[in-house]
Structure 1
Amino acid sequence: MTMCPDGFSTRSRIAKDTLILDLGTRMRVLSSAPRGGGIRTARYILNHQVPSNPVRQATHSKWEHPARYLKRIAVDLGVDPDCVGLMTAVPMKQVVTCRDKADGLWVECFATVGVTNAVRAGEPPPREEADGTVRRAGTINLMVVTNACLAVPALVCAVQVVTESKTGVLRDHAVPSWTGRSGATGTGTDAVVVACALRGSGPRSDYAGTHTMIGSLIGRVVAECLTQGLARATEWTATHRV
């Protein structure tokens, strides 16, 4: 749990293969999440582990819609279903987190990192097999929380900075696309969440680019999480021979 003098607190715990982030209060959230995606307010963010290929069940029936499935997970965990929910095949024991602060601002990042599904932006999507399966999933889920009150354009810019930082680390570590091509920029199933203070409850920022302090903090914590996450993913892959 992170407690701050400005009154914000982020509590995190893992239960039933799910990382639960309790922001302590409702915050403005912009995300690409399958549940609660887009821009909204929410108090809880979930990152739930699913099988590595959840497209089909053992019965080959169509898999449940992710938003409905994540709602059931939230209810089962006793969490407000009006939440933001992500899915990943990465085990929750590989969750990494990093925090940095400066000038009255703080930023936290929580991440799960898998790159067996890595891709270079612009490559053709993989084809679905006859049984409905695709390549083994390897999602990078990034959840960023800050005490700053970001204007909507700044929230969008924050997502841009998260992506730039992620891609920079992947390039620094020479992560290849699943096709074998060099220079992966992410994975085919990545998701990002940025949560910030509501108006009047945090330091106001109209900008969040890489020339700003908030942008710099976001870039640093994301890069640290990606670096740690890649190391854990490599170790896990070597252990499990996948």
Structure 2
Amino acid sequence: MITLKNYARNKGWQGDTVGMMTAVSMNSLHIHSTGIEGEQIVVLSTTGIANALRAGGSVGYGLHQEVVREVGTINAGIITSATLSGAAMVETHMIATEARAAVFPQLVIKGAVSDGIATGTGTDSTLVVSGQRSTAVCFTGKHTEFAEQVARLTMASIADSLTSTECAA
């Protein structure tokens, strides 16, 4: 947090700032977007899967005594012009997390320390940014078109990033 705070201050940025850290190449950045009922949804992702893991699977590390040696993170940012309620922001985060996990079986990505299909990495991060437009969105569960688009965009962005030449190695 101190690193990001100092970075923002050095850049002269005012107000609230959000940052996501990664050790993967920014060449893995992929952006997908769409419009829905006059509002925009944009998904940005960077990917690295050297430490891919399966939720509930073997991790190969102790509580906090050992340092993770392999780096790899999937960062996904979901940005919309619509004004999301608190509940909608939580649901959007959940949808994006499920969408990320859905990409791993499609690409047959196995965990680094187990044979099972991975569901993410040990350091994945998801950010949801709500707009301040007049369209208020109260809920974004799987039964909504908003969630459908967030999931599709998230899956496409992450899949494209994972299959790019930079990430294939």
CA deviation after TM superposition for structure 1 residue 81, in Å = 6.6
Q: Which residue of 2 aligns with 1:64?
A: none
Corresponding position: 1:144 with 2:78: yes
**Which stretches in structure 2 are left out of the alignment for 5+ residues?**
none
Pair 1:162-2:86 in alignment: no
| Matched residue, 2:152 | 220
1:42-67 deviation per Cα after TM superposition (whole angstroms, max 9, x unaligned): xxxxxxxxxxxxxxxxxxxxxxxxx0
State the SS of the aligned residue for 2:19.
strand
Structure 1: tracts of 5 or more residues without a match: 1-66
Which of the two has greater strand per residue? 1
Structure 1 residue 124: Cα displacement: 4.1
CA RMSD of aligned residues (A): 1.9
Instruction: Name 2:129's counterpart in structure 1.
Output: 195
Relative contact order, higher structure (CA 8 A, sep 6+):
2
How far apart are residue 202 of structure 1 and its match? Answer: 3.1
Match of 2:61 in 1: 127
SS in 1 for 2:70: coil
Q: Which runs of 4+ in 1 moved over 3 A?
A: 234-237
How far has the Cα of 1:101 moved from its partner?
1.4
Distance apart, 1:231 and its partner CA: 0.9
Displacement of 1:214 in angstroms is 1.0
Which one of the candidate residues 5, 28, 33 is aligned to 1:99? 33
Which of the two has greater helix per residue?
2
Q: What is the correspondence of 1:47-126 to structure 2 with a 5 Å cutoff?
A: 67-80=1-14, 82-126=16-60
Q: 2:166, 2:112 → 1: CA distance?
A: 18
CA contact (8 A) 2:31 2:42 kept: yes
Of the two, which has the highest radius of gyration?
1
Deviation (angstroms), 1:174: 0.9
Residue by residue over 1:78-135, the C-alpha shift from the partner in whole angstroms, topping out at 9 and shown as x without a partner, is 333731121111111221111011222320011111111111001244326xx96322
1:24-43 matched pairs, under 5 angstroms: none
Q: What TM-score comes out, normalization by structure 2 length?
A: 0.90
What amino acid is the match of 2:16?
Answer: D
| Residue in 2 that maps onto 1:38 | none
SS at 2:77 equivalent: strand
TM-score normalised over the length of structure 1: 0.64
What do residues 139-173 of structure 1 show as CA deviations (whole Å, max 9, x unaligned)? 00001100111111111110110011111111111
Letter of the structure 2 residue corresponding to residue 213 of structure 1:
E
**One-letter amino acid of the counterpart of residue 203, structure 1:** T
Whole-Å separation in 2 of the counterparts to 1:144 and 1:180? 30
Contact 2:47 2:167 in 1 (8 A): no
CA contact (8 A) 2:28 2:166 kept: no
In the alignment, is the contact (CA less than 8 A) between 1:111 and 1:142 conserved in 2? Answer: yes
Structure 1: distance between partners of 2:53 and 2:15: 32
Q: State the distance in 2 between where 1:77 and 1:116 align.
A: 31
